[in-house]
Each structure stands twice: as structure tokens, then as C-alpha cells.
Chain A
């Protein structure tokens, strides 16, 4: 008995050390917030502010994707579906019934999480590539359904009605500042959710499933339930991002929020920065999104494919040289500093 007593005493030190290493991430987040919040004061150019908003948004969306793919190991290539559900829910309720996009965002996020559970129930029997292909196909089906649905404006989509700038309608024609803060809030919430989950039982179970599902199962991990939970959380935040995007551009149509391109754009930043890490998606978005926007404006409309070529090149380099992502250059030896 006294043997266990000394063990308990000795165990205090490493426990605190691990908690400390994790908590050291929070000041970094605070710093990122502070810099981002102050940036628009010196960066008044509307074009650059647009780049900042999109970077924050894709950082959040890639983080959402990372929750399912990076932590739980279930590679989805159909997250455009959840993005579309969020975007359409907010647009449909606001344009059709005047319901505030805040509520629309919540409705879209909850619907999306529910949809993820239904699809997860069907798809989580599939392994590896087959799962990825299934998600891709299902997202395409979703796109086609919306495309042919008169209720959602079919191919024409839904225009947000013009109105006065206000927080309740999430519409600001005169300034981009509120959108910067909204996108930042979206990123911070997604990051905090990931941070909280990473340190919890779910986080450990997800990573165990990603590394070796059979070994995880032998250690009492609820594999199916864990995947379902990851899918629901991931879809929830992706749809929230979709609602934000719809409010920002004040217009949705099937191609502009549900095309396969979005599914790729959610995955690539995380892959580039470091899949299954807290900061990977943000680092990846910080590199990729400005490249997209800059090539788009400098090469013009005909250069719409150029950013994807650059993406492809970057991903190939990362896959060959540093499969763990760019973050592992800063922190050698794994995910934990």
C-alpha cells in the first residue's frame, strides 16, 4: 500500500509539466488575437483586409476539417457539403424570412452536425481511401440536389437583401472591420474547441483511432462513437464558417459555396501546416490564402487555376520533404513541444 502512496507523490511532477506545456499555447493565441485585432488599424487597404478575412476564415475552416481528419484520421474530401449547409441555412432564413443570420448560423451548424451523424453512420464502416471517396461523392450529390432545388433558388442561388449596416443582420457595406472581428472570433472559437478536445479523453481516443484503430479498440476506445463525435463537431464548425461566408459575400449559389474546390481548400492548409496539430491549419492558411488572392488579382480572371497549381506544388514538396507539415520544422520531435 505505501508503495502506491510514493508513486502518487512522484506522479505530481510530470502531470503538472504536461499541463504546463499545453497551457503555454494560450498566450500564443492571445498574441495572435492581439496582432490580428490591431492589424486593420495600420492596414487600411480594403483589398488586404479582404485577404485577412479570408485567411482567418480558412484557418478556422481548415481547423474544423482538422478535427475530423487530423485528429481522428478520417480524411474527408466532402466538407464543402457542410459549408454549403451553413451558407444556405443562413441565406435561406435571412432572405426568405428575415431571420437573423446569427440564428441561421446556429441552425445551419446544428443541421450540419446532424447530417454528419447520419452520413457517419453510413460511411464509417468504410476504411481509408474508400471513406474519402464516399465523402467526395456525397458532397457532389448534395451540390446537385441544391442545384435542382427551386426552394433554394436552384442554379441562381440566393441573394441577401440590401439593408442598413447592422450586427443583427451581419451586413456591413461600408467597412470590413466587423468581418475581420467575426472571422477572428470564428477562428478563436474553433481553435479553443480543438484545444479543449485535444486535452480531453476524446482527443486521446481520436488520435489512438487515427494511429491504430484495432489497438485502440483493444484498449477500450469507443471507436465508432469517437468517429461520430469528431464528425459532428467538425461539421458544426464548418457550417458556422459557411454561414459567415454567406453573410460576408451576401450571396450564395451552388458552385460558389459547395464546389469540390472548397473541400480541397479546407484540407490543404492543415496538410501544409501540419495535420493533427493545433497551429497547422492557421500556419497553412497564412501561406496559402494570400497566395490564392495575390495570384488571382495579378494574373487576372484567366489565372484562376494558377493558385491550385501552386497549392499542388507546395503539397508535393511538403509530402516529399516534411510529411508532418511545416510546423514540425519549428518543433522537431513531434506534436508536443
Chain B
């Protein structure tokens, strides 16, 4: 089980004009794990995240999802295959209420409106937003909007869930609920990749971390080992802090 890779990146590069945002990245995500993508600002986390989700294609390199090449597939096609994502800044559909937002996601697996609505309702109960099902999205609090993002993504019934800074800006108790939710998602058999800034949240939660720096993979491994890695400390704090 632990040996199977749900996602593999082989030599993935992405350029924006002259800027190389991701350079020759080779990494993998194991079936059923929670993986963190971390790194200082501008390290290329978001770019890699978007490449996996299919927001734009890589300039070169291979992306394999369950052994299948997906680099040329659109975000829509990848969603059908089982890759779902959230957005860092919640992007709810504001002409719809909460459950209708989630239904957009559940329509991927359910053609009928009734079936899609039932599935959306189950998802809302699962993430703890069912009591807001009929509310307009504009009335949601920021943590609720984050949950809606997760509910929509989960409604597409993914195998791989990409979470983009879902814990940012949450109070400690809200973050704690978020952590429980992510664990429970993993326990359902969904593999999770999360981009996160808040280290103290990420480290106890994740099984493995990939550290990016200047668009390249700097380190990779168990979170405890990664934070002790000299290269990682230097990347975050600068050369002169390394001795301390």
C-alpha cells in the first residue's frame, strides 16, 4: 500500500516568460498519505500545486496520476479522474447558495439533480456546514468559506485532494477543527496534498513534507527530519542563523 504512488512528477519545469517558477521537479505522492508542500515565499509551491491541479500545463516534464500521463489534460478532465483542489482565496459561486455551490461539484459524479443534491447534503454534513446549506455564500464567515471550498472539492469524490493554505488565518480552535477534518478525509482513503505556511499546524498533521526553494526540491522526508535539515533552515532563516 505504502509503495504505490498516486502521483508522480518527473522533471517538471514551468516557466513564466523568463522566470523559472518550477525547475526540474521530481517528486511523488504516496497513496493514502498527507503530504505537505512547504517552502519560503516565492519557492514555487503554488506553481507546483497549480500544475498538479491542471490550472496550466508544465513547460516540460511528466506528470503521472495513478500511472497515467495527465500533463496535457485540462483541470476538468483531471477532476473527472479524481484530482480536486481548493483555492487559496475562496472562490465561491456567489449567485448560488451554499448547497448549490457544492452541487456543482457533485454533478461530476451524479447526473440527476436530486442525486446531486443528496450527495451535496451529505458532504455538507461531513464538513459541518449543513446548517448553512440554504445560506447565500456572501453571508458566510471566512472559516465557513474555507469549509465550503473543501466541501465543493470533496463533492467531486476525489482520490487526491489538493488543499491550498486552508488553515491560513484561522484561530487555533478553528485550525484544530480543520486538522481533524483533514485527518478524517485521509481516513476515508483520500490522499491529501497541502500547501501550508503555518508550520506548527502542518508538522504534526502530515506524514511527509516536500520542501521547495527557488523552484527546486530542497528536501523531502518525514517532517521531523525536514525541519532539522541544514539546507531547510538556511532557506528559511538565512545563512547566519544556521549555527544557532
Contacts and interface: CB of A to CB of B under 8 A. Distances in A.
Contact of A219 (B79, B96, B125, B134): B79
B85 interface: yes
A333 B136 contact: yes
Interface residues of B, number: 42
A195 to B, nearest CB: 13
Interface in A222-243: 222-223
Interface in A104-153: none
B87 interface: yes
Given A201-B111, A212-B91, A219-B153, A8 B103 contact: no
A215 interface: yes
Nearest to A12: B118
B107 A205 contact: yes
Interface string A1-38: 00010011011001100110000000000000000000
Given A201-B116, A205-B104, A220-B108, A211 B79 contact: no
A4 B122 contact: yes
B186 interface: no
A173 interface: no
A14 B99 contact: yes
Given A15-B114, A201-B113, A218 B53 contact: yes
Chain A, interface residues (CB within 8 Å), range: 20 to 34
A15 B117 CA distance: 6
A208 B53 contact: no
Interface string B142-171: 000000000011011000000000000000
Contacts of B93: 207-208, 211-212, 215-216
A220 B95 contact: no
A18 B117 contact: yes
A218 B79 contact: yes
A165 interface: no
A102 interface: no
B136 A207 contact: no
A223 B87 CA distance: 18
Contacts of B94: 211
B114 to A, nearest CB: 6
B108 A215 contact: no
Contacts of A216: 93, 104
A204 B93 CA distance: 10
A72 B1 CA distance: 44
A8 B105 contact: no
B97 A336 contact: yes
A8 B79 contact: no
Contacts of B125: 7, 10-11
B209 interface: no
The 3 A-B pairs with the shortest beta carbon distances in the complex, nearest first, are: A220-B108, A220-B79, A211-B93
26 contacts: A7-B122, A10-B125, A11-B118, A11-B125, A14-B117, A15-B114, A18-B117, A201-B116, A204-B100, A204-B103, A204-B104, A204-B107, A208-B93, A210-B95, A211-B93, A214-B55, A218-B53, A218-B54, A218-B84, A219-B84, A219-B104, A219-B108, A220-B108, A220-B156, A221-B104, A222-B76
Interface of B: 53-55, 74-76, 79-80, 84-85, 87, 91-97, 99-100, 103-105, 107-108, 111, 113-114, 116-118, 121-122, 125-126, 133-134, 136, 152-153, 155-156
Interface of A: 4, 7-8, 10-11, 14-15, 18-19, 199-201, 204-205, 207-208, 210-212, 214-223, 276, 333-336
Given A204-B103, A220-B80, 10 more contacts: A4-B122, A7-B125, A8-B122, A10-B125, A11-B121, A15-B118, A199-B113, A204-B107, A211-B95, A334-B95
